[in-house]
Structure 1
Amino acid sequence: MALLIESDCINCDMCDPECPNEAISLGDEIYEIDPDKCTECVGHYDTAQCVAVCPIDCISKDPNHEENEAQLLAKFTRMHG
């Protein structure tokens, strides 16, 4: 399942540089996660790095992009070979 940055994001810029897939970018008002690039850090780390560094815990699972670990790993493999 891709992750989602919720509306209470304070634009602290902690998450963007931590994303190994470059899935996070500044949107019109808050940071956003591209679900096509988000693997929840599967293939890179044991935990999602954006969630680990978010000071206000505003990153959650995106219910509109449900994926299991095998699907996330397959996405990682497609992106990184």
Structure 2
Amino acid sequence: MPTEVMVSVVMVLVAPVTSLVALWLRLEYCDRRDRERRHRLLVAATLPAGSRFREHDGDGSHLSLVVGHRSGPAGDGRRP
């Protein structure tokens, strides 16, 4: 009887902890991936107008970008 109670108590404690660890790992992975993408976009923003930028991620996603021309000091992205 005490063994069954111990197993029940352990299961009640382990299940939420395992779920929280899995969620934390997923959030950590997503955060790292987003930081890397942000870094690539910052690098792509330094490219001259008319440049093309294409990169593939290990998860199968890809980023394809064509750098446009700025219309003036405001840089609203519209072509002249």
| TM-score, normalized by the shorter chain, greater than 0.5 | no
Greater helix content? 2
TM-score, structure 2 as length reference: 0.23
Higher RCO structure, 1 or 2 (CA under 8 Å, sep 6+): 1
Larger Rg: 2
